[in-house]
Amino acid sequence: MLHIKSIDDGLELFKALGSDVRVEIIKILLNEGSLNMNDLACKLGITNGALTSHIKKLEECGVVAVSSEAPGHGNQKVCSVHLDKILIELQDKPVNANIYTTDIKVGLFSDYSVYPTCGLANSSRLIGEVDDTRYFAHPDRFEADILWFAKGYVEYMIPNFVPANQKVDEICISAELSSEAPGVNNVWPSDIYFYLNETLLGTWTSPGDFGDVKGLFTPDWWFPNWNQYGMLKTLVINHDGTFVDGRRISDVVIDELGLTAKSQLKLKLEVPEDAEHVGGLTIFGKGFGNYNQDINIKIGYSAIE
């Protein structure tokens, strides 16, 4: 998902989509899945040179991804649509001074129970050996910018620096997630369970473990047949319920948890072995995937009456 938070932030995207040819490129790629430049130019009835200019604009906005493949006669540039959705906020949200924001590095989990296939890495190297769960307890895990496992969970302590005598009204958690398949598989569903302080907030089913194209921020040394990028998901719990990307996933409300400035905040992401789709979990942090962010937390609060 591409999240555009203001009209100004979206100007380059709007310009890129302000072309009938580029809109047709997106429609063709959505229908075909992916095409090399030659075939795409033929379908459009334009030259390769003209197509290159259009693809460059779409690539710069993150709408289309281009990868190189060598099927037998030199490198072929292969194009595919790189987004599942675009969210545009047309009105700026009012500035709320009562928001505490923090980021949690992917490797800073406080508890875990994971099963292979699994592993950790930072932006420059693997941390330990893959499929050896012992490295989830290694001190170097704090450096991790990506982690993955076939089933199990990781739990994070959310720093709570909400001012004294305040209650928590809303928690917003943003993270780039995908399934975990042996190798990669774009169709590999996985039910991911979200907990806060051991209360099940709801589930989201990841559609796959994406490896069709390289992630925009995935480092060059990363293995081409491993997870490349995920989907940016936003989990919100407030007075109205619990939501993922604005879609209600449960009726659990923040009031049930009774959270204040004194509360511990424990976030758990789990793929239980009895889930309908046990397809693992990958969490992407800075230096990996398409969004170059760690786990982002925003906590809205107000005075206790």
Average pLDDT in the chain:
91
| CATH number, residue 267 | 2.60.120.260
In a domain, 88, yes or no: no
Residue 6 confidence (pLDDT) above 80:
no
Question: Looking at 27-36, 129-138, 141-150, 164-173, which range is the least confident one?
Answer: 27-36
Structural domain span for residue 49: 2-83
pLDDT of residue 95: 45
Residue 273 confidence (pLDDT) above 70:
yes
In a domain, 92, yes or no: no
Q: Tell me, yes or no, whether 109 and 49 share the same domain.
A: no
Q: Confidence class of residue 252 from pLDDT cuts 50, 70 and 90?
A: very high
Single-letter code of the amino acid located at 203: T
The answer to whether residues 293 and 235 touch, using CB atoms and an 8 Å cutoff, is no
The answer to whether residues 275 and 192 touch, using CB atoms and an 8 Å cutoff, is no
pLDDT of residue 1: 64
Give strand pairing partners of 173. 235, 297
Q: Confidence class of residue 62 from pLDDT cuts 50, 70 and 90?
A: confident
pLDDT of residue 84: 73
Single-letter code of the amino acid located at 286: K
Q: Please state the length of the chain.
A: 305
In a domain, 94, yes or no: no
Q: Cis peptide before 102, with omega less than 30 degrees from 0?
A: no
Q: Tell me, yes or no, whether 138 and 270 share the same domain.
A: yes
> Would you state the torsion angle of the CA atoms of residues 24, 25, 30, 34, taken in this order, to the nearest 10 degrees?
150
pLDDT per residue over 91-135, tens digit each?
555 445 699 999 999 999 999 999 999 999 999 999 999 999 999
The answer to whether residues 150 and 180 touch, using CB atoms and an 8 Å cutoff, is yes
Considering only CA atoms, which of 271, 62, 232, 243 is closest in space to residue 150? 271
Q: How many domains does the chain have?
A: 2
SS3 50: helix
Name every residue whose Cβ is closer than 8 Å to that of residue 205 and which is 6 or more positions away in sequence: 189, 190, 191, 192, 277
Residue 234 confidence (pLDDT) above 90:
yes
Residue 257 confidence (pLDDT) above 70:
yes
Q: Tell me, yes or no, whether 249 and 276 share the same domain.
A: yes
CA distance 218 to 122: 10
- Return the percentage of the chain with pLDDT > 70, whole number: 94
Q: Which two tokens stand for residue 97?
A: 């001074």
pLDDT of residue 94: 46
In a domain, 195, yes or no: yes
| Average pLDDT value for residue range 158-187 | 96
CA distance 240 to 254: 8
Residue 233 confidence (pLDDT) above 80:
yes
pLDDT of residue 278: 98
pLDDT per residue over 278-302, tens digit each?
999 999 999 999 999 999 999 999 9
In a domain, 115, yes or no: yes
Q: Tell me, yes or no, whether 163 and 268 share the same domain.
A: yes
Name every residue whose Cβ is closer than 8 Å to that of residue 280 and which is 6 or more positions away in sequence: 117, 148, 149, 150, 151, 179, 180, 181, 188, 190, 209, 271
Beta strands 86-88 and 281-284: pairing type? unpaired
| Average pLDDT value for residue range 202-226 | 94
- Single pTM value for the model: 0.74
